[in-house]
Structure 1
Amino acid sequence: MTKKVLVVEDNELNLKLFCDLLRAHNFEAEPVRDGREAVERARRFQPDLVIMDIQMPHVSGLELIETLKADAELNAIPIMAVTAYAGKGDEGRIREAGAEAYVSKPISVLRFIDSVSQLV
């Protein structure tokens, strides 16, 4: 059965890259451009994994991770944070919010797909 991945990313080029990579590796990818839609889309799509940008307009990826992990219907879905927000201590804060994995941008294609495969 094809695994489903919700990709929450405001940058169009990154969103296309992540979705294209996922589809090339036989995942069903659902793009979300606006973080404010992420929780509702996760409820409808029922993904096996959420890939989350951290720095987005309107709502931060950290807030979304915490919201997803606090939701009884969605909290079992693993979350992979993908971000250029890679200062000292950032990975720790992202993991504390509830993300199971962290990949920094610019991504390594092999590391990205390997991380996805480990989580689903």
Structure 2
Amino acid sequence: MADRKCIMLVEDTASHRKLYASWLKIGGYDPHVLGDERVAQRMAEELRPAAIIVDIRLPNISGLDVIEGLKADERTRAIPVMALTVLDSATDKDACLAAGADVFVTKPDHIATFLDRIAALLV
């Protein structure tokens, strides 16, 4: 569907990929799901998504490093980023925002608030 906005999701847990991709579809978005964060930068450059959701606890590269890389590159710097994590301390939130995340969301979230946060990223 041409009018659906592409949202890139970087998430290593299969059940979470399925859940958040289904929520994005329900919200009218076109999810592009990555199970391997090592290709996130290249895919962001190729896809030019409307927003990127990055899990913070990833197996190969920290989600913080993924976000920092996206925000350091002029080709992807302007793409809004949501940090999505089970980590919920103020320190974790500060670290995500310092890395360049535009919004910090703690798992599990609810579909309505999740979609509201995505919509807010896109304005």
TM-score (ref. length: structure 1): 0.96
1:1-120 equivalences in 2 (<5 Å): 1-120=3-122
Counterpart residue identity of residue 12, structure 1 = A
Counterpart residue identity of residue 54, structure 2 = M
Q: What is the CA–CA distance in structure 2 between the aligned matches of 1:36 and 1:56, rounded to whole Å?
A: 10
Counterpart residue identity of residue 28, structure 2 = N
SS in 2 for 1:89: helix
Structure 1 unaligned segments of length 5 or more: list them: none
Q: CA deviation at 1:88?
A: 3.7
Q: What is the CA–CA distance in structure 1 between the aligned matches of 2:86 and 2:24, rounded to whole Å?
A: 20
Q: What is the CA–CA distance in structure 2 between the aligned matches of 1:63 and 1:47, rounded to whole Å?
A: 19
Deviations along 1:60-110, one digit per CA (max 9) or x if unpaired, are 000000000000000000000110022341101100110001110111211
TM-score (ref. length: structure 2): 0.94
Of 83-92 and 48-57, more deviation after overlay is shown by 83-92
Structure 2 unaligned segments of length 5 or more: list them: none
Structure 1 residue runs of 4 or more that deviate by more than 2 Å after TM superposition: none
